[in-house]
């Protein structure tokens, strides 16, 4: 893929951009095979490739420059900034939205936050698009509530020009840099949920819930998990680190019982909405810590699906899973290093099937789905 911003040295975020795409896949596959070389993997499925451009559904733009001429893009370590509105990873529908937003920032007087001087109000713009219906969610990350009235007063102008902005909110992030968003989210539109559909399964996105950023590959990942589950004799499953419920909602049949556990209450609300829409009856989604939940449960389901953050599931949850001994564990990971460490702790399981999903093209990162089966089954 060609990126003029990369070639001009403006953005180097995609470290593997100069590597041909088939080579990227081969290198990721080789690393994954090396990381799992200590286990007897029974079946390797071919890697699921991604579209090479326009595959993202989300932009996280640092806002810099001046109120009259805002820059939407990145802030480099040396303090310089770069406009990334033409980043080829975004769908073509994003560029016209960025253009209107630049004018809006000036009209509403939302002074970009200046990191060096610690002054200004607007830190980031977060834009997410539903591939199913083209609706978008826009979040303004502000240093404080100082400009909130100005923002509200100017919004009708924005909504008239960009009716696709179905969900708008302001996030208050008073901390200097470091973290992207704060605890306080202020709704600016009545609608606060974006509807997405993967493989005919309705999914919902709210401002503070995690959602996969590569919808094409995420759909393929959920579909693979569903297909693998259909081959197994399952009556019950847990979906740990479930986010908005994508895995569990794909894998559970109406007859099965599904328990989804996730730390974010916003994401759990999305998962509950989906379950209701689909008409699943034996479902429980709860906002809890996954390890604490597992430690407090007496019995294990037929299958435990885990999809943790980069750190993996950790030794405490591994120890609990080992003790509970569910027949099957389906592990979806965005960090094969931590997944390999966790699998080493799950010594009573054999590695039945592994597949790489190229969720993050042009970088060294990837997702991997692994089916573990209890020894003796």
Ligand X SMILES: C[S@@+](CC[C@H](N)C(=O)[O-])C[C@H]1O[C@@H](n2cnc3c(N)ncnc32)[C@H](O)[C@@H]1O
d(CA 43, CA 263): 33
d(CA 48, CA 216): 10
Q: How many CB atoms lie within 10 A of CB 154?
A: 18
- Quick check: 55 binds ligand SF4 (CB under 6 A)? no
- Quick check: 5 binds ligand SF4 (CB under 6 A)? yes
Is 212 annotated to bind ligand?
Answer: yes
Q: Which of ligand X, ligand SF4, none interacts with 198 (beta carbon under 5 to 8 A by kind)? A: none
Min dist. Cβ of residue 3 to ligand SF4 (A)? 3
Query: Of 330, 322, 317, 342, whose CA–CA distance to 369 is shortest?
Result: 330
242 is catalytic: no
Do residues 63 and 104 lie in contact, with contact meaning Cβ atoms separated by under 8 Å?
no
Q: List, in sequence order, every residue forming a beta bridge with 129; answer none if it has no partner.
A: 136
72 to 101: interface string for ligand X, x by CB under 6 A: ------------------------------
DSSP character at residue 255: T
Contacting residues for 77 by C-beta, under 8 A, at least 6 apart: none
Which tokens belong to 241? 């680190």
Nearer to ligand SF4, 64 or 272 (CB): 64
Q: List, in sequence order, every residue forming a beta bridge with 136; answer none if it has no partner.
A: 129, 165
Is 3 annotated to bind ligand?
Answer: yes
E strands, 130-218, are: 136-142, 165-172, 184-187, 194-198, 201-205
Q: Which of ligand X, ligand SF4, none interacts with 5 (beta carbon under 5 to 8 A by kind)? A: ligand SF4
Classified as helix, coil or strand, 354 is: strand
Min dist. Cβ of residue 307 to ligand X (A)? 4
Nearer to ligand X, 166 or 203 (CB): 203
Contacting residues for 320 by C-beta, under 8 A, at least 6 apart: 291, 294, 295
Nearer to ligand SF4, 13 or 150 (CB): 13
Classified as helix, coil or strand, 92 is: coil
87 to 126: interface string for ligand SF4, x by CB under 6 A: xxx-------------------------------------
237 to 276: interface string for ligand X, x by CB under 6 A: ----xxxx-xx-------------xxxx--x---------
- Quick check: 25 binds ligand X (CB under 6 A)? no
- Give the residue numbers marked as catalytic: 334
Q: Which residues bind ligand X (CB under 6 A)?
A: 210, 212, 241-244, 246-247, 261-264, 267, 289-290, 307-309, 334
Binding-site sequence positions for S-adenosyl-L-methionine: 212, 241, 262, 307
Q: Which residues bind ligand SF4 (CB under 6 A)?
A: 3, 5-6, 11, 13-14, 17, 84, 87-89
């Amino acid at each position: 893929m060609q990126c003029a911003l990369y070639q001009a040295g403006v953005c180097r975020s995609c470290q593997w951009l100069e590597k041909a795409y088939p080579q990227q896949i081969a290198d990721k596959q080789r690393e994954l095979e090396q990381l799992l070389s200590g286990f007897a993997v029974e079946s390797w499925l071919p890697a699921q490739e991604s579209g090479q451009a326009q595959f993202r559904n989300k932009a996280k733009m640092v806002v810099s420059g001046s109120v009259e001429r805002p820059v939407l893009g990145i802030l480099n370590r040396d303090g310089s900034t770069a406009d990334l509105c033409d980043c080829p990873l975004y769908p073509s529908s994003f560029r016209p939205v960025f253009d209107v937003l630049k004018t809006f920032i000036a009209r509403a007087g939302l002074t970009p936050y200046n990191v060096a001087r610690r002054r200004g109000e607007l830190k980031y713009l977060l834009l997410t698009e539903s591939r199913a219906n083209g609706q978008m969610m826009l979040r303004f990350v502000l240093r404080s509530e100082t400009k909130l009235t100005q923002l509200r007063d100017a919004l009708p102008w924005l909504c008239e020009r960009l009716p696709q902005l179905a969900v708008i909110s302001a996030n208050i992030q008073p901390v200097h840099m470091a973290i992207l968003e704060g605890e306080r989210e202020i709704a600016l539109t009545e609608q606060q949920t974006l509807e997405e559909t993967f493989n005919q399964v309705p999914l919902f996105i709210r401002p503070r819930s995690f959602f996969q950023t590569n919808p094409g590959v995420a759909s393929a990942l959920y579909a693979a998990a569903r297909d693998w589950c259909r081959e197994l004799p399952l009556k019950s499953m847990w979906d740990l680190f479930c986010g908005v419920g994508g895995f569990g909602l794909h894998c559970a049949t109406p007859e099965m019982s599904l328990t989804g556990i996730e730390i974010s209450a916003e994401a759990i609300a999305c998962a509950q909405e989906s379950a209701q829409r689909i008409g699943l009856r034996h479902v429980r989604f709860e906002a809890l810590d996954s390890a604490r939940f597992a430690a407090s449960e007496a019995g294990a389901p037929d299958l435990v699906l885990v999809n943790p953050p980069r750190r993996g599931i950790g030794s405490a949850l591994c120890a609990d899973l080992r003790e509970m001994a569910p027949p099957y564990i389906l592990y979806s990971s965005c960090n094969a290093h931590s997944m390999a460490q966790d699998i080493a702790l799950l010594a009573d399981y054999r590695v039945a099937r592994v597949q790489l999903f190229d969720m993050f093209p042009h970088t060294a990162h990837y997702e991997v789905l692994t089916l573990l089966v209890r020894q003796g089954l």
